[in-house]
């Protein structure tokens, strides 16, 4: 089997104690998980509109009114350029939404397509009330660095649109027994949005770390101690009607 390696990233202080989460990015243009044995929510079977609560294949979303939004594919999101995606911020008028994974069952893996990444997007992983890890926009942006292959919508229906922002599938992998049961998606302004599609989860630990290497691969022993952050410049805001 072809080995898969962790992206080499600069570490930052973890927002949790003894938490081991490896985060990687799939190759440009990949918009779904490459991990076997996952459960996936594509949002395509859910009606577009606002929701303060929403039951999905991967768990239950909650958001204060006016709620999160399920949005028809457009230049900012929708894997494959069709179907629907989940968003908070500009699309919903709400700044955050919580996802209780698989009815609160701890998971060892979550992956999702984070499209049109901007400087306001952030993600937090929890186990119960304990923060496992927190990733701000600069942290998430570190995965794509200056690689222009991630910039712009990769789908034929909207090819090249939103050309300054990254579109990438991210993998969050618990190692050394680390699990999480809640994800908080945040975007502290309605001037921009946080757009997510093809969320996949897996309860059992992964046999290998997914992703494509950038720079020198790290030894297995180093994986558990990394989070991410780097010198990737924060992406510019985008205004929407």
Give residue 231's pLDDT: 25
* Residue 202 pLDDT greater than 90, yes or no: yes
Give residue 143's pLDDT: 65
Give residue 166's pLDDT: 92
Give residue 180's pLDDT: 97
pLDDT band at 142 (very low <50, low <70, confident <90, very high): confident
Tell me how far apart the alpha carbons of residues 21 and 98 are, in angstroms, rounded to a whole number. Answer: 19
pLDDT tens, 152-161?
999 999 999 9
* Residue 67 pLDDT greater than 70, yes or no: yes
Tell me how far apart the alpha carbons of residues 83 and 197 are, in angstroms, rounded to a whole number. Answer: 10
Q: Bridge-partner residues for 98, per DSSP?
A: 62, 184
Give residue 139's pLDDT: 76
Give residue 103's pLDDT: 87
The alpha carbons of the chain give a radius of gyration, in whole angstroms, of 16
What is the percent of the chain where pLDDT is above 70?
78
If you average pLDDT over every residue of the chain, what do you get?
A: 82
pLDDT tens, 80-115?
999 999 999 999 999 999 999 998 999 999 999 999
pLDDT tens, 168-185?
999 999 999 999 999 999
* More confidently predicted of 6 and 139: 139
Give residue 220's pLDDT: 32
Give residue 140's pLDDT: 65
Neighbours of 53 (CB within 10 A): 11
Task: Find all residues with CB under 8 Å of 86, minimum gap 6, and list them.
Answer: 43, 61, 68, 69, 70, 71, 97, 185, 195, 196, 197, 199
**Domain 21-223 is found in CATH 2.60.120:** yes
Average pLDDT estimate for 56-80: 98
Task: Find all residues with CB under 8 Å of 115, minimum gap 6, and list them.
Answer: 76, 77, 78, 79, 85, 153, 167, 195, 196, 197
Give residue 144's pLDDT: 73
First vs last Cα of the chain: how many Å apart? Answer: 48
Q: Name the least confident of 7-21, 114-128, 196-210.
A: 7-21
pLDDT band at 138 (very low <50, low <70, confident <90, very high): confident
Backbone angles phi, psi at 104, to 5 degrees: 85, 10
* Number of residues that this document lists for the chain: 241
Domain ranges of the chain: 21-223
Q: Name the least confident of 11-15, 20-24, 64-68, 182-186.
A: 11-15
């Amino acid at each position: 089997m072809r080995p898969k390696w962790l992206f080499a990233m600069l570490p930052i202080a973890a927002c949790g104690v003894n938490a081991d989460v490896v985060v990687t990015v799939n190759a440009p243009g990949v918009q779904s998980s490459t991990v076997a044995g996952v459960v996936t929510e594509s949002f395509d079977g859910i009606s577009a509109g606002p929701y303060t609560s929403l039951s999905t294949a991967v768990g239950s979303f909650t958001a204060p009114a006016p709620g999160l939004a399920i949005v028809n594919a457009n230049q900012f999101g929708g894997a494959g350029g069709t179907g629907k995606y989940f968003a908070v911020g500009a699309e919903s008028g709400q700044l955050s939404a919580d996802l209780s994974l698989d009815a609160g069952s701890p998971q060892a893996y979550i992956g999702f397509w984070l499209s049109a990444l901007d400087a306001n997007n952030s993600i937090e992983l929890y186990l119960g009330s304990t923060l496992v890890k927190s990733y701000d926009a600069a942290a998430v942006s570190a995965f794509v660095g200056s690689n222009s292959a991630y910039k712009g919508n990769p789908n034929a229906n909207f090819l090249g649109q939103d050309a300054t922002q990254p579109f990438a599938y991210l993998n969050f992998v618990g190692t050394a027994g680390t699990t999480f049961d809640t994800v908080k998606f945040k975007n502290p302004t309605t001037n921009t949005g946080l757009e997510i599609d093809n969320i996949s989860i897996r309860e059992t630990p992964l046999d290998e770390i997914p992703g494509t290497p950038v720079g020198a691969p790290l030894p297995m022993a180093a994986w558990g101690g990394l989070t991410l952050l780097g010198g990737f410049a924060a992406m510019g805001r985008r205004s929407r009607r």
